[in-house]
């Protein structure tokens, strides 16, 4: 039953996230200042890949104390709305992954941000440090390949405000 629940949750998330994750207007950003602090604040710097080997840094000019989904954020003088905010996990092979949910049997739903934006994975998860959450030093297995988690950073998905 739990496995069926995990599969259903992944299917629902695919319908919700995939149209947005690949949207031309939506940006995936990673926090590059104060990377161990999982809160956004004015003057933080965010980084976005804008195609190929090109990237752009964004300065957080204005943000409310609450960085919830739906809140406005001003980056480089332009207003955006937060679509998603949370931890992203960086693997030794270069993948950037966002967790979409897990079950009690060590299966984890993951949305790939880089290099294959929008790919959904069901991964086996080994809680190496036994802290009860996906973290640096843990191991995820995707399609039979072990992926050690080597970094964890705050990621934000935004779209232009109307």
Q: Where is pLDDT greater, at 161 or 133? A: 161
**Residue 37 DSSP one-character state:** -
What is the predicted pLDDT for the residue at 46?
93
Read off the pLDDT of residues 84-102 as tens digits, 9 standing for 90 and up. 899 999 999 999 999 887 7
The pTM of the full predicted model, rounded to 2 decimals, is 0.76
All structural domains of the chain with their residue ranges: 2-160
3-state secondary structure of 5: helix
Q: Which of 15-24, 100-109, 131-140 has the highest mean pLDDT?
A: 131-140
């Amino acid at each position: 039953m739990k496995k069926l629940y995990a599969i259903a949750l992944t299917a629902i998330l695919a319908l919700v996230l995939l149209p947005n994750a690949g949207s031309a207007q939506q940006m995936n950003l990673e926090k590059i200042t104060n990377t161990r602090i999982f809160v956004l604040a004015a003057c933080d710097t965010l980084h976005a890949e804008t195609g190929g080997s090109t990237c752009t840094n964004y300065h957080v000019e204005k943000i409310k104390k609450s960085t919830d989904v739906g809140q406005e954020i001003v980056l480089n003088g332009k207003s955006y709305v937060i679509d998603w905010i949370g931890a992203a996990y960086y693997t030794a092979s270069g993948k950037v992954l966002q967790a979409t949910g897990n079950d009690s049997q060590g299966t984890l739903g993951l949305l790939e941000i880089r290099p294959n934006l929008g790919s959904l994975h069901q991964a086996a998860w080994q809680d190496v440090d036994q802290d009860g959450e996906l973290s640096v030093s843990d191991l995820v297995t995707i399609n039979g390949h072990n992926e050690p988690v080597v970094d964890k950073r705050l990621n934000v998905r935004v779209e232009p405000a109307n």
